[in-house]
Structure 1
């Protein structure tokens, strides 16, 4: 049997030194050369393929690197965009745009418009003007906001009455439970006085707040609020329009604000001292018959020479669901120069109120009444809130030989708030006077004056 001799066998044989016949060697050598050539060609093709694969691998790696770089750049770009977005001002809506920027900046415009109309009716024999009246009671525009570092500001002007007056104009600083205010702001007298006119239960506050001259003054104050405790104290000069006066005063107020179940309680007291520091200084206590658009005052002490004023107030309130009640008393003592007697005048009120609409309650915040927010406002399928209020209001300006008159007032109001920032109110007051400064027929100084007022109000 013949076996083919492959080139491999021949190569082995040759390597082993075997001797083959010459013819066989020639034939096999040619075959070996051919196979070697084929192997070299195959190896060349393999090398070329390896080069191709290495190129493709390099390209793939380059693409992967590029993709990874692009992904990193995309992540960095997204992070930068997020950081930029976080630094961009945000705008919220709280009755007006509230713009908040990086670092604690904020800016919010604010304003209010109250238009009153109605009438008053006094005995004709007194000779006092009465009848129809109307006015823009308040027309205010202002701004408020925060400044980085815990600071804040508020500035507001009132354009009612054909004059421009600054109401609030101050810089504040807050740190935890402490707030410091410098500028024109409310001093600390009376729950009814400190409650914003936007959130009061009648179109005018209790008689004693106006009669005793409660108003914003320029000064510096500190407020501490922690848990149920609110403590306020400040030193004041006079209203920003009367800074040429020599008035120097101090005010302090302490309030406890506990809750009893779902009911909010309010118990407070205040003290006021004002040194007039002028030998020619005088005070005058007087009050309108409920509505502001009449200029008549049926109780009036006239000008009294005075060296100082000292006042003491007590206040209490409760809010329980749709019901609220509030009462205050304030004693104002006048220190008069020389041998003149020192009178003490008194004012106070007691009121109750009730919401006729379900889910509504009077607001309360930081020691004063706050905004009513209807549970079912107009525009969202509801009617808004409807509230009725009754108040007894007392003012006694008789003492120490001074006859300024006594007012017993019986008042009622009906308030409709279709939304958080719109209000309509109907008010009636019957003021019964004793020792009125204007006598009726036969010298009678005991009579009553009726007053009716309606208000349309919007704020932002």
Structure 2
């Protein structure tokens, strides 16, 4: 209690005492000294009571202040949750260069094919889980990194990338199961291709990941890659032995990215293999029909050569590739050389979007205005002519001319929806119509929903 308040209380008490009427006192009233002593005693008692009240008031204020502080602290804790403890992985990454990054992708395809009825081949609606991958990648310290992915699509478990790498400046060494530098189209991730399936020659000529060791050197605009490879994880019994190399030049002219490359490939077939077969589906993967097919060819080795070129300029891109596959067939007077290639153009209909490019291949498109950020994502239109010729040196495997279109919508960086149409014109097709005609058209339509992380 403040001193001024205490004085006012005492003054009030004195005034009440002094104001007591003299007439109220009887003859037996105490003397003046006794009255003064009594007043002093009353004042002392009043002061003691005031001190007691002041102490109780101070305690109450302290209790209220503590309660207010507790409420404020709890409110702040609710508004801003306490951060979770840093995972051990992050601590390892900071201390020793270790890291762990989960990764995966899911692609669901559906659509239909339309085939001349008299060929007797299946068509109509079909769907499939095209890819369902889970894996991880990260660092091991000292410049070493790893990547491992398994694909669970098709009721089978297959290895995708599964390798250990070491990087030192412009040099990278990879040991394990990985791509062997066949072409721009093959090396571009399935997440970033402009159609739901790659160009026909990549599948027809058996491009796939294989177990091996490779070296890549990237400095400025030059990328050089070479490696030795054996078999795919699923075919280790064939004892293939291959050598692959690729050279890419990646200059820029202003904002335009250019790409020029070439590759060479040699594959010696193992004694347990001794044959090859080249064939291809009509654009979509969910059909098992192949209208171009060489059948099994007895062979000792394969030699391939490819050329590739591309450009990206703002919303526009273009790409063209050609690949020649020669097969050494000792029983034949001449070894056949088959050819495949494509030419495509693409254009983004949404403002500010462009196709990604990195390390000698197409990369992720990142919408300039994604859904959830005030935009609709990116929308891209692509047109492609796709050619595959499996006729040569007496081998009649058929010719496929594909006229393809796709519309790709990416709402966000990691989601994609794609519409694809292909009109495939065949000559010397593997299946004849009821009238014996082997030149006809097959239509294919496919849609894809895709997500990755």
Question: What do residues 132-173 of structure 1 show as CA deviations (whole Å, max 9, x unaligned)?
Answer: 010000000000001111000000000000000011110000
Report the 3-state secondary structure (helix = DSSP H, G, I; strand = E; otherwise coil) of the residue aligned with 2:238: coil
State the alpha-carbon separation in 1 of the partners of residues 218 and 139 from structure 2: 19
* TM-score using structure 2 length: 0.80
* Equivalent runs, 1:291-440 vs 2, <5 Å: 291-440=284-433
Shift of 1:242: 1.1
Shift of 1:442: 1.2
Q: Is the 8 A contact 1:279 1:307 kept in 2?
A: no
From the superposition, tell whether residues 88 and 213 of structure 1 become closer, same or farther in structure 2 (CA, over 3 Å): closer
State the alpha-carbon separation in 1 of the partners of residues 120 and 331 from structure 2: 37
Q: Note if 1:456 corresponds to 2:449.
A: yes
2:220 is aligned to 227
Report the 3-state secondary structure (helix = DSSP H, G, I; strand = E; otherwise coil) of the residue aligned with 1:196: coil
State the alpha-carbon separation in 2 of the partners of residues 361 and 352 from structure 1: 13
State the alpha-carbon separation in 2 of the partners of residues 154 and 88 from structure 1: 20
Question: What do residues 163-211 of structure 1 show as CA deviations (whole Å, max 9, x unaligned)?
Answer: 0001111000000000000000000101000000000000000000000
State the alpha-carbon separation in 2 of the partners of residues 326 and 382 from structure 1: 28
* Equivalent runs, 1:175-190 vs 2, <5 Å: 175-190=168-183
From the superposition, tell whether residues 193 and 345 of structure 1 become closer, same or farther in structure 2 (CA, over 3 Å): same
2:24 is aligned to none
Larger radius of gyration: 1
Q: Note if 1:102 corresponds to 2:95.
A: yes
Unaligned runs of 5+ in 2: 1-84
State the alpha-carbon separation in 2 of the partners of residues 382 and 411 from structure 1: 28
Q: Is the 8 A contact 1:126 1:441 kept in 2?
A: yes
Moved over 3 A (4+): 85-91
State the alpha-carbon separation in 2 of the partners of residues 454 and 273 from structure 1: 36
Q: Is the 8 A contact 1:89 1:102 kept in 2?
A: no
2:250 is aligned to 257
From the superposition, tell whether residues 280 and 321 of structure 1 become closer, same or farther in structure 2 (CA, over 3 Å): closer
From the superposition, tell whether residues 87 and 450 of structure 1 become closer, same or farther in structure 2 (CA, over 3 Å): closer
1:149 is aligned to 142
1:67 is aligned to none
Aligned length: 369
State the alpha-carbon separation in 2 of the partners of residues 286 and 181 from structure 1: 30
Counterpart pick for 1:248 among 228, 236, 241:
241
Q: Is the 8 A contact 1:364 1:370 kept in 2?
A: yes
Shift of 1:86: 11
State the alpha-carbon separation in 1 of the partners of residues 388 and 121 from structure 2: 20
State the alpha-carbon separation in 1 of the partners of residues 196 and 171 from structure 2: 32
1:162 is aligned to 155
Question: What do residues 325-344 of structure 1 show as CA deviations (whole Å, max 9, x unaligned)?
Answer: 00000000000124442000
Q: Is the 8 A contact 1:218 1:238 kept in 2?
A: yes
Unaligned runs of 5+ in 1: 1-84, 92-98
Q: Note if 1:236 corresponds to 2:229.
A: yes
Shift of 1:87: 11
* TM-score using structure 1 length: 0.79
State the alpha-carbon separation in 1 of the partners of residues 408 and 200 from structure 2: 20
Q: Is the 8 A contact 1:155 1:170 kept in 2?
A: yes
Report the 3-state secondary structure (helix = DSSP H, G, I; strand = E; otherwise coil) of the residue aligned with 1:155: strand
State the alpha-carbon separation in 1 of the partners of residues 332 and 350 from structure 2: 58
